[in-house]
Structures are given as C-alpha cells and as structure tokens.
Chains A and B, each alone.
Chain A
Amino acid sequence: MANELAAFSKELAAVVAQAAGSVVAVHARPRFSSSGAFWRPGILVTAEHTVRREEEITVTLPDGTSAAATLAGSDPGTDIAVLKLDAPGAPVVAAADDLAPGNLALALGRSEDSGINATLGLVSAVSGPWRTWRGGRLDRYIRLDLTFYPGSSGGLVLNAAGQALGIATSALSRIAGLAIPASTINRVVDEVLARGRVARGYLGVGLQPVELPDHQKGLIVLSLEPEGPAALAGALIGDVLVALGGTAVSDTDDIQTVLEKHGVGRAIEVQVVRGGASRSLSITIGERPRRS
C-alpha cells in the first residue's frame, strides 16, 4: 500500500527526528514548560515571554535528562531569551531567505512527559522588516498558519527541508503565531552575549504626530522625562520634531528606526520647530530603561 502520501509522511517524520536533538523543554515559568532550541553550541534560545524567572531555570534535554541553564539575557522587544548551559547540542542549519507564503512549516517543541512534539502548517504571510508591539524589530514578518498548543512557544520552526526558519512565538501577534526569523535571533544573540541585553535608544519624550501649517508633518512633544536626554539637550514641551539625524520623521516608528541606526551614547542632530521658528538641538541618545 505504499503511496506518495506515505512517503511524504515518512519524510516529515524523518525531518522531525533529525532536528529533535536540537529541541529542549524549558522550565522557567509556573505550571507550563515551554520549548527552546540550541542556536549555537552551549547556547539556547527560547521565547522571552515564557521566561518568568531569572534563576532556577532547568531544561529537559533531547536524551530526557535535566540540566540547569543560566539566563544570559533577553530582549523583550523581539521576544527572544538567550540561555547558556553546559551540554552538547547541535544547532539546526538556518534556512535560506527564499521563503514564500504557502511553504510548509513544521513547529517542533518538547515536553518533559512526552518528548519531542511536532505540528504541521503553512507559512501564511511573509514581508519585510516589522516592528513588534513590544518595540523590537524583526528582520522579516513570518506569519504561520499552524496550531499553537501550550508549550509550543520557543520551539523550532523548520521548512520542509528541515532547515530553521526561526523560533515560534504566540506573543507577538494576536492574529497568528509568528516565527522569529533566524537573522533576528543571530543579531540578538550576538548583542546579548556581548552586553547581556539589547540596548534600545531613548530620547525621554512623549510624542504625538501633528501636521504643521505648511503641511509638513512632525511630532509634538507632549511630555518630557525630567533629566531625560531630550530635556538635558534643552527640548521643551510644545516643540515639534521634524527631523532626526537628517531624516524627516512623521511618526514614532520613524524615530525608532533612526535611533536603531545610531547607537546609545551618541549625539544626534534634532530639527525642531518652536514658536514657528526652526532650530536645531543635539541630543545624546540614552538607553531605554528596562521595565521592572
């Protein structure tokens, strides 16, 4: 009764079996575990929203044994947490960038009780860089048409060839689960290993988009963080930001994009309209305070 469907079924199971050695269960929150993946030797990644404690984190390894892991750091903006542990574990090769809607996607997770688990679905949408509601930037938006079960987040998302598209998260979109792209994970892992966190630029202003009488767009300063970077540079409530670092800005996404290009601690030229007159300020970019 061999048929193509049975052959396809075997291939899927083989892809799962081959990548299973890279997928762990992460115990870092009450009640439910989540999943995680070896990203580099001794380095695991998981979904940040599933890491609810900074100590006493354990993982269930592919061989069923348990090991202690330490939190190297995390980036809530992209929902990535980086864990270190002393255990061998081969990362899965990252996929090339030729992803398209309709491609098959396999999500792999692990639980302590039943070992590796697999879910099959489709890549339902792909687009360019995307800012999450948590403020981070994903290099690509990869939406999955795939059922997420408790404990799926942080698991490895593969294409049909068994290459890694990224890790699964249910926390970045209300519509569907997403794959946090491999290139974003690489960037965040590099930064977290170097500095323990991903520093995000901060001006210390509350802004609202407005249109100026000459139809130019800008952002009016509604609040100022006392002693914040903008306040120290002499910005006032009521100033209208029209350009940042030489780039015209008309909404808060523009600000984030410019701040990402300039590093924390560097001075940036800010063009404001105050009382109808244009003037220039030099703000030293601060680091966004971490939520406690």
Chain B
Amino acid sequence: MRGFGEVAERLRRSTVQIHSRAARGSGSGVIWSNDGLVVTNAHVARGAGLEVELWDGRRLPARTIARDPRRDLASLRVPAPSLDAAAPGNSSTLRPGELVIAVGSPLGFAGAVSTGVIHSIGPIRGMGSLAWIRAQVRLAPGNSGGPLANAEGRVIGINTAIVNGLGIAVPSNDAADFVRRGPLPSLGVTLRPVSAGVLILDVDPGGTAALASLQAGDLLLLSLDELYSALDSGQPALRLRFMRGVTSSVRLPVRETVVRLGERALEAA
C-alpha cells in the first residue's frame, strides 16, 4: 500500500523553508511553479532579505512579488529554473473526514510530517465571509506557509495558524486566485474592533484608505464582518461612514468617504 511516507517524500521536495534576516525563526513555503514561484504566508514573508532553503539544502535569495495580509498569503520568486512544483489540488471539493498531510519545518525541524483529517470548512467568526480549512493536524510555529495536502499528495491548503489546537489553512483555490490576480482588495489599515464599530489604529501611506483621507483614530461605523463582506463583494468602490476625533461622549457629526478599491487584475504576471 502506498502510504503517507511516499506521499510525504514527494511533498517534501516541493516544500521550502523561508528565512528572514529581519525576523528570528523561519517558516515554510510551497513551490508553486517549476520556474521559481513560491507561495507562503504573508506573516512569514515579512521584511527584506528573505531567503528560501530548498529540500536539498540550497539557499536562494527571494524577492517578494505580492502580499495579501488579510488572506495571509505572499508570493515570492527565487532564481531557479527547474524546481519540483507541488501538485495542485482542488480545495472546493474537500469534505470533512478526508485524510490530510502537512509538511513543514515546525520549530525548525525541516521536512516534518503530521497527518490527520479535514475537520471542517467554513468562515471563522469575526474574520469575514472567507472560508478557511480546519484540519485535525498537529502544527507548530514554522509550519506556517507550508503545504496541507490530500491523500494523493495534492496541495489543498496553505497552513496558516493554530486555533484551539486545530490547524487552519487557506484553501488552495484561494491561493491560486491570489497568484493569478493578486491580493484581495484591502483598505491598507490596521484595525481594532470596538463596540461602536472599527477603530483605525494605523494607515499605510499610499494605501486605499490613505488616498480616501482616512486617518489613524477615525472610527468606522460598521462591524468588522460587514467591512470584510463589503470588501469581498467585488464592488470597485466602498462608501464608508465614520467619525473623527472620538474622545468622549460628545456626539460628533458622521462623515462619509468613498474608498476606491481599484480593479483586481484578471491575469497578473
């Protein structure tokens, strides 16, 4: 019987370790195409001076192509012409109970394997309407960005987080969409949900929120779920109601702004 060992061996050749000069520790990544495209988590590909370590120990400098902090995805390019790309799976046909295998470098052990089954697939409360894969696999820091594959060794998710002991992965179809079309629309802000809405803690200069004159300290008058649903609705622009200078119980005028989200590329390079 072809077991997990064989599947794992093939998958290991398509799994990389990602080292960041800025951050301590390392994450994992998946070789997405033979010509050097690597997909990982946005929280792994942070900072400059990223290096990709292949299964055979070669270390290559990596350049960040795109990042999507909300989906926690990043794509990198390494200068290597003929790599072993992972076999892509179809995450839309996944069913709870299917066997899965995760490969990565948890706590720095390269090529470590853990197995389990798909627990459930669906949105996570407070994180919008996007679906996530929950898997009964034991992950550890360092698995982030690595592949979650099915019994055939086809990649069906990118391992991203651990919640209540469950492995959380981005569905591979969403990762493929990110590679083709770039990041999902975002405001380019750091947010904190509060009782009245969402508070903007920080604004990326040049981000869509900054272009719509939103500032740190502004209070957006909608819930995080509503905001994410609106961002994911595919509309090119978003009308947001907000208050500025919220400090006490003084009633402030409600302002309005229009955020242009721009078109997502249909087929980005």
Are B125 and A113 in contact (CB-based, < 8 A)? yes
A150 within 8 A of B: yes
The listed residue (B95, B99, B153, B164) touching A8 by CB distance below 8 A is B99
User: Are A1 and B152 interface neighbours, CB within 8 A?
Assistant: yes
Which residues between 17 and 76 of chain A lie within 8 Å of chain B, taking CB atoms? Answer: 17, 20
Across the interface, B120 reaches (CB within 8 A) one of A4, A13, A114, namely A114
How far, in angstroms, from A13 to B99 measured CA to CA in the complex? 8
What interface size band does chain A fall in? 20 to 34
Partner of B134, one of A2, A20, A114: A114
Q: With contacts A8-B99, A9-B99, A119-B136 known, is A114 near B2, CB below 8 A?
A: no
A111 within 8 A of partner (CB) = yes
Q: Report how far A181 CA is from B2 CA in the complex, Å.
A: 35
Provide the bound-state CA to CA distance between A119 and B100, in Å: 12
Q: Which residues on A sit within 8 Å (CB–CB) of B166?
A: 149
Given contacts A17-B95, A147-B165, contact A5 B120 (CB under 8 A): no
- Contacting residues, chain B, for A111 (C-beta < 8 A): 120, 122
Complex CA distance for A13 and B116, rounded to whole angstroms: 12
Which residues of A are found within 8 Å of B150, using beta-carbon distances?
Answer: 6, 9
A216 at the interface (CB under 8 A from B): no
Q: Is the CB of A236 closer than 8 A to any CB of chain B? A: no
Number of A-B pairs, beta carbon distance below 8 Å: 92
B121 at the interface (CB under 8 A from A): yes
B117 touches A118 (CB 8 A): yes
Neighbour of B97 across the interface among A2, A3, A120, CB < 8 A: A120
For residue B262, CB closer than 8 A to chain A, the reply is: no
CA of A250 to CA of B130 in the docked complex: distance in angstroms? 61
Contacts of B152 in A (CB 8 A): 1-3, 5-6
- Given A1-B153, A6-B152, A106-B97: A117 touches B2 (CB 8 Å cut-off): no
In the complex, chain A residues whose CB is within 8 Å of the CB of B154: 1
**Cα separation A5 to B5 with both chains bound (whole Å):** 11
Q: Does more than half of chain A's interface fall in helix, strand or loop, or is it mixed?
A: mixed
Q: Is the CB of B98 within 8 A of A5?
A: no
- Complex CA gap A150/B166 in Å reads 10
In the complex, A83 Cα to B179 Cα: how many Å?
48
Q: Contact: B97 with A15, CB < 8 Å?
A: yes
Choose from B3, B87, B95, B165 the contact partner of A149 (Cβ within 8 Å).
B165
Q: Known: A6-B150, A147-B165, A149-B164. Is A117-B96 also a contact (CB below 8 A)?
A: yes
B122 CB, nearest partner CB in chain A, Å: 3
Q: How far is the CB of B132 from chain A (nearest CB, A)?
A: 8
**Other-chain residue from A6, A113, A116, A149 in contact with B151 (beta carbon distance below 8 A):** A6
- For A106, what are the chain B residues with a Cβ–Cβ distance below 8 Å? 97
Q: Report the separation of the CA atoms of residues A120 and B125 in the bound assembly, to the nearest whole angstrom.
A: 24
Chain A residues with CB under 8 Å of B98's CB are 9-10, 12-13
- Min CB distance A230 to B, Å, is 47
Q: CA–CA, A67 to B122, complex, Å?
A: 21
In the assembled complex, B119 has its CB within 8 A of some CB on chain A: yes
A115 within 8 A of B: yes
Sorted nearest first, the 3 A-B pairs with minimum C-beta distance are: A114-B122, A16-B97, A117-B120
Show 11 A/B contacts (Cβ-Cβ < 8 Å), sorted by A.
A9-B150, A13-B97, A17-B97, A108-B96, A113-B122, A113-B123, A114-B121, A115-B96, A117-B134, A119-B117, A149-B165
Chain B contact residues, CB within 8 Å of chain A: 1-4, 7, 87, 95-99, 116-125, 134, 136, 150-154, 164-166
* With A3-B2, A111-B122, A115-B120 already in contact, 12 other A-B pairs whose C-beta atoms are closer than 8 Å: A1-B154, A3-B151, A3-B152, A6-B150, A9-B99, A10-B98, A13-B95, A13-B97, A13-B118, A111-B120, A114-B134, A118-B136
